[in-house]
Structure formats: structure tokens, C-alpha cells
Amino acid sequence: MVSLPHGFPAHAWLPDVVVDLGEVFAAAGHDLSLVGGPVRDLFLGRTSPDLDFTTDATPDQILAAVDGWADAHWDIGRAFGTIGLRKGNQTLEVTTYRAEAYDPSSRKPEVRFGDNLEDDLVRRDFTVNAMALRLPSFELVDPHGGVRDLHAKLLRTPATPQESFSDDPLRMMRAARFAAQLGLDVAPEVQQAMTAMAPRLEIVSAERVREELVKLICGAHPRAGVDLMVETGLADIVLPEIPALKLTADEHHRHKDVYQHSLQVLEQACDLETDDEGPVPRPDFVLRFAALMHDVGKPKTRRFEPGGAVSFRHHDVVGAKLTRKRMQALKFDKDTIKAVTHLVELHMRFYGYGEQEWTDSAVRRYVTDAGDQLQRLHRLTRSDVTTRNKRKAARLDHAYDDLEARIAELAEKEELAKIRPHLDGEQIMAVLGIAPGPAVGKAYKFLLEHRMEHGPVAEEQAVQLLKDWAAEQGIS
């Protein structure tokens, strides 16, 4: 590893490949600097997953310089001046100095190559990312006070916020993301520009917005990022269902409105994630996003009852539909949409367990309906308790402890995760002497229902049950 010069944190480090690449470019007569996130993370005492470099060399000159040194290269980003490299197990990206701007009506950046490091840094998104280390000397270049802003935990832009966000409106989402990831406060002038320019985000592709949203939700402080999106109006474009919660009174007249309740559920869900060896390793986007979206059906289902009470009947079902529609608009993949919406739809299923004991059949259905989302559903349901009433919170917590214990007990006896009918399709056709068709499906459903209600039975009993049912149905 390469030791850093005086002034850098003693525990900061970089792999040898960084200085090696600097020497390769110096030998070829080109400048090279480590830039952006890797430099920022050195001052935060973190290991950056990416190694990004900038240079005065053109893409063709980059390729010529690393010929014979890099183990592999790819030029899929050549149009943007970026060449990807692999050296050993390290992946590197080298980009020609550039300036980048958006046409007001276009989603795609217009790229212009530059010829010096200082001009390249001023076009970057925030001062904490506008620092560079010249290689191989490791001279720090920080013309916009990035180190100062890191110490102050402040997010500012190198140019004016208006210029920065006009160049790339997605940077407004990045501001919220860095608030969530790094715990930085946004400078007043930056927040003002975000609020005034939020509509510009509409020209950015859904895919780019989605990627920033995922990083925000998976950050160390997602509540701060979501709150900033709502305060600036970005959420009105990206997740309009969330600011709509501010207009909805809670049916329990709690001290928090539904919006604040949802943010607290998000925080509590994060606290229930596990380490890498557990069933829900952190950060878990599916759990976190379901926690944020679980009550978005309330505004559409709010009803004022006699006596002044407020109800939100079926907000779980409505919320799942709204969540699916929003995630489809943001171009999430089908599996992620299915997982999140399933949790939203099931998040109310537990309530009532504490008032009346569930039958074994009800417990089986709870597990079967949750499917592969059971561990997340456990955590979402527990997170949904935000009452200040300690007695009520303890009662709900105890009730869910009891439910989990019963699930574990039944699982040990019955392999709940693999619940199937007493007989499969082949056996059904053999017992009844029928060919494939609707009758087989009806018989399968009957046996599954019986399995749910009564638990497992011996094969002989299952055969008799099937024959009796078929006789009642007129199936021969």
C-alpha cells in the first residue's frame, strides 16, 4: 500500500496500482489525478469501492499509455472520454478532462473535453467531490474547499448551485443522496436552488433517478435524504405519494402524522436489519422501501366516521397498487416490485393477533402468504409500531414474539416453508383416473385448503378425502 503525505489521515490508504498508474502516465508525458469519491473517502477514513482518475490525455492517448500495462480495457464510455481498465483484481476508470452540460430539453449530456485539472474540477457536482490527488506525487488539489466542507459536514457546489444543477439536474437527487449516505447538511443556497429548480429533474431519465433513489434509501441516514427530497419538492416528482402523507391525519391521533410515522418506521426497519450472515443483511432496499411506502394508500382511503374518528380501510391493498405503479414508472425490475408491493399489501395482516389467538390454520396462511418475504415481513410489522404508549407497544411486541414462536414450532413439525397439498397432480389423476384438466386443479386446491386448515395427514387418509370430495363434485 502507498503511504500518503503529511496532512492526510494516518489510517487512510490506497492500493499500489494507483501510484503505478500515475508513473505509467508520467512516463507517457501525461498528467493523471485520482479524483472525486476516492479522494473524499480518504478524508472520511473509508475505503472507496471505485478508483476514478482524470487526465489531459484523449481516449486514444489513454489506450496508448496503458498498452502492455493493463490486463484488459474497454471503451464503452469513449464518447464521454472514459476508458475502463483492469489491473489484477482492480477495476479503474480514466476520463479525459471535460466539461459537461445539459440542453434544457434533453436528457443526455453534451460532452466537451477540457485541457486542465482546475476546469475539470469546477464542473463537478459538489466541493467534497471536487478534490484531486496529482499522481504519482500525491499533491492535493482542492480549489473549492472540499476538505473544509467535509469537516463542516456541509454540501456546497464548486460553481453556483444554479449552474451545477442546470448542467445536470440529477445532482439535486445526489444532494439528497449524500445527505443520506454521509450525514452532510445541505448549504442554504444549495437547498434554495434545489427548491427552485426541482421541476428540471423531469428531463432526467427514470433509470438515472432510480439509481440515485436506491443509493439514498440504502444510505446510513435515509430519513434525512427523504426529508430533504420532500422539503425541496424533489419528492413531488420522484415519489409524490410520500409528501401526500403530510395531508393525512392518523386514525389513532398519534403525536406524529402519517408522514413522520412513515419516516420513523423506515428508521426502525433499518435498525432491524442483520449482518451479512443474517436473513436480512443491511442495507436491504426492499425492506426499507416497503417501510417508507407502507402507508401510501391512506390518503385515498381516508374516511371520517361518526363521532369524529378517521378510518383507512383497505389502505394496504390500495397502497400496494400505488407502490407498484410508482416503481414501474421508475423502471424497477419485476422481482423488486413484486417483493416490495407484497410487503406493503401484507403489513396489516398481523394486527388483531393480540386480541384473539390465531388457529394453526391462520398461522400457516400467514407464513404461506408471506412466502420468501417472511423475514422481511417480521421486521416491517415490528417497525410499524411507533406509539408512545409503552403498554400498548409492549403488548404488540409480546404478541409478535408469540406469533414468531408459533411459526417456529409449526415449522419444526410441518416444514411450513414447503407446504404442499397432501397429494400432487400425478397422484390426484391416478387416484381419480382422470386426465389433465380443470378437475385436477380443483382437486389440488381442495387438498391444499385441507392441508392449511388441518395440517398434514397420512397418504391413505388423503386418498379417502380426495375420493369423498370427488363424489360430492360428481367427478368420476
d(CA 95, CA 77): 9
Cβ pair 323, 251 in contact under 8 A = no
| Dihedral angle of Cα 283, 285, 288, 293, to the nearest 10 degrees | 170
- Whether residue 50 is contained in a domain is answered as yes
The pTM of the full predicted model, rounded to 2 decimals, is 0.82
d(CA 208, CA 175): 14
- Whether residue 54 is contained in a domain is answered as yes
264's CB contacts (< 8 A; 6+ apart) are 256, 386
- Whether residue 434 is contained in a domain is answered as yes
- Whether residue 413 is contained in a domain is answered as no
Crossing angle (nearest 10°) for helices 206-217 and 170-182: 10
- Whether residue 129 is contained in a domain is answered as yes
pLDDT tens digits in sequence order for the chain, 476 residues long: 444 555 554 345 788 999 999 999 999 999 999 999 999 999 998 888 889 999 999 999 999 999 999 999 998 888 889 999 999 999 999 999 987 555 666 656 566 788 899 999 999 999 999 999 999 999 999 999 999 999 999 999 999 999 999 989 999 999 999 999 999 999 999 999 999 999 999 999 999 999 999 999 999 999 999 999 999 999 999 999 999 998 765 444 544 589 999 999 999 999 999 999 999 999 999 999 999 999 999 999 988 888 778 888 899 999 999 999 999 999 999 999 999 999 999 999 998 676 667 888 888 889 889 989 999 999 999 999 988 888 888 888 888 999 999 988 887 775 555 566 668 888 888 888 888 988 888 888 888 878 777 777 888 888 888 888 888 888 86
- Tell me the residue type at 45: G
Residue 460 grid cell: 391413505
d(CA 245, CA 261): 10
Q: Residue 408 to residues 70, 275, 360, 363, 402: CA-CA distances in angstroms?
A: 53, 21, 12, 10, 10
Q: Residue 44 to residues 13, 128, 139, 149: CA-CA distances in angstroms?
A: 11, 11, 18, 12
- Whether residue 241 is contained in a domain is answered as no
Of the three residues 98, 116, 151, the one that is the final residue of a domain is 151
469's CB contacts (< 8 A; 6+ apart) are 443, 446
Nearest to 286 by CA among 354, 230, 334: 334
Of the three residues 112, 135, 151, the one that is the final residue of a domain is 151
Of the three residues 89, 121, 151, the one that is the final residue of a domain is 151
The domain of 432 spans 420-473
- Whether residue 28 is contained in a domain is answered as yes
Residue 214 grid cell: 436506491
From the CB of residue 222, how many other CB atoms can be counted at a distance below 10 Å? 28
Q: Domain holding 110: CATH number?
A: 3.30.460.10
Total domain count, the chain = 2
- Whether residue 84 is contained in a domain is answered as yes
- Range list of H helices, 153-253: 161-167, 170-182, 188-197, 206-217, 222-232, 234-238
